Structure 1
Amino acid sequence: MNYLDYQATTPLAPEAREAMLRWLGGPDSDSFGNPHSAHRMGRMAKAAIELAREQVAALMPQGGRVIFTGGATEALNLAIRGRGSGGSVAVSAIEHAAVLDTAQDAGTCHVLGVSADGLCNADQELPADTRLVAIMQVNNEIGTIQPTVDWQRKAREAGALYLCDAVQAYGKIAVTDADMIAISAHKFHGPKGVGALWVRDGVDLREVQTGGGQEFGLRSGTLSPALVAGMGAAAQVAAERIEQDAAHVEALWTRARERFADWTHNGSASERWHGNLNIRRDGLDVARLMSECREVMFSAGSACASGSGRPSHVLKAIGLSDAQAKSSIRLGFGRYTTLEEIDAAASILNAAAQDQGL
């Protein structure tokens, strides 16, 4: 198996798995307590969660708090809906559906355009009633790094808050400053089913999910100590390895660019995270390619939108035709990918494309 779909999910780090095992305790252990219980076992579980909160916060800006959620989608919903209704939410045309759909459902949504390079530049006007600006840091489909510093400044000048989807950035590059930041553990070698929303001190949100009032009264529901501990351990490892991982990804990127030199690159080659390679060959039947290359795990776009049959809204936003968008593939690699895997995947995919006469 050759796994090149790191934007969809990443392999679980051994350190994260080890941290989780203790909190999957059976009846003979003392580590299955509810972290919201007042007795000793509950306090032990709560201590594990608070340690993880510190580990996750270490890669965030100063002056805020981490609210654990079931994932980035829930975190983004809390950020957008938790600010209430009224006014416009400005979002880029290449945001994840968790932002686009939620913003449209929550009220007036103003969609900002992007360049052919896949960048949402801050020279665009915001509606006078803008209350929230949501621009992701690294795009999940084409890997472009957005001018988030410019957008935060523009949001502040407009009297709005700035929300950043940092799912593809956290643990890989320095997370941008913002008023709210959403992340997901399984995108940086943590477990699936847990994420977080970082909220700057002084930013008020209302509860979206009512119940027991856990997580500062903003996210009701019993937290999983195992999932949270795994997320915390993954964050700590990412912080310790961030330079090492970046150097490794750069080597993988260089090799991948060499091996796929005959393909057309989608999105900026410079303003991007180099763990994402989105490429196309006009006329390519991607469905056939995926069927014939089953030993290579790659994507035709966002895993969250796979099976819809629609061309990628991100590739359409940068000016590609339906046919070009549907002839594109995304290769994602990172910490546990080897150069040999890049070479093997390239040989398989290039041979399959040539069999299609391309």
Structure 2
Amino acid sequence: MAPFFLLRLPHLPILEVVKHMKTKEIYNFSRCSKKCQQTVRNAAGNHFELRLYFWTENEMILKSKKGKENKIHFSFENFPVIPWSWTRSDNSVRRFPYKKYSGLYIKEKELIKYLVETFNCIIGELRFHCDATRNVFQPLLNFFLQSQLEFHLVAFDEGIVNDEDFKYLMDNCKMKELDLLCSVAVLSIEDFKIDVFCLRTLYSDWVTQNHLLKMSFELGYIQINCNMKKWMEIVKAWMNGWNKRMKFALFEPTRFDLDLADQIIENVIPGKRIDKEVMRQYPMISSDLNFTRHSSVLRGGYDFQRVEDGVLATITQDSGPQKRYVFAVWQYNNDFVRQ
């Protein structure tokens, strides 16, 4: 077959050909020459997103918005052992083996800058391993803030994030979703504040009633450290105006039994018991947050209203294997369908 001289085509046909390439093909093409890089820049539009993972082995994913599988991985291997997640044979992975001791992330920054400039992409997701980025978090975050001030998701994974880094993140960065899959060493509750669309705190019991009442979110998956009395106070706080934007949340209490709480809630919170045979469909809200094993069908529960405007909410136990409370806020009276 005769060779196809792509760059000899007129400008617009070249762009159309590039737009129909897969992400890894576009990346390889962009590396051929400066002209190819400029061609990709002209064709990229706003169809790409960059996801960054700063763990023991730093990883990046350049993802096309046109398809879930249309992506390319970059793995920076800081040790001779290949990361467990990339031990499979995968042609979409580009590996950069080297040992990193300085904490400057020079190679990672070079590639990030290249991808952002070439693919016109936004950084959609930032994940930091608390221990791996303990002493470099703030300068690393500053590097990303040079190109954009808001991210779709920011996450701390494993270990303990110190209060200075956490406060620096909340003061300088905007995000739609926040994952705190770690412990947080918050020294001053007066300075603690979270206001995001979607919040998840798991794998630790650092969230107390005082922390929760300084959080504002629409969707949440919260592991909370409180006794039954404090939990009832949290429910009353919502009735009196706390977190009016909340629509749906899963709460996983660590210090009291949900069955016992269900038995006494009628004596503490004014409301109405719903029979267990009654099932209601909750209109789920779109989010990247994964509510593991959760069904949008609520069975039974206890209904109560916000004092100020009469908005109805339901507390019921999740139907999954884990002991969790579903806290669903019905925005309108016709939000649910009885089955």
What TM-score do you get using the length of structure 2 for normalisation?
A: 0.25
Q: Considering Cα pairs closer than 8 Å and 6+ residues apart, tell me whether 1 or 2 has the greater RCO.
A: 1
TM-score, normalised to structure 1, is: 0.24
Higher helix share: 1
- Rg bigger for which structure? 2
More strand by share: 2
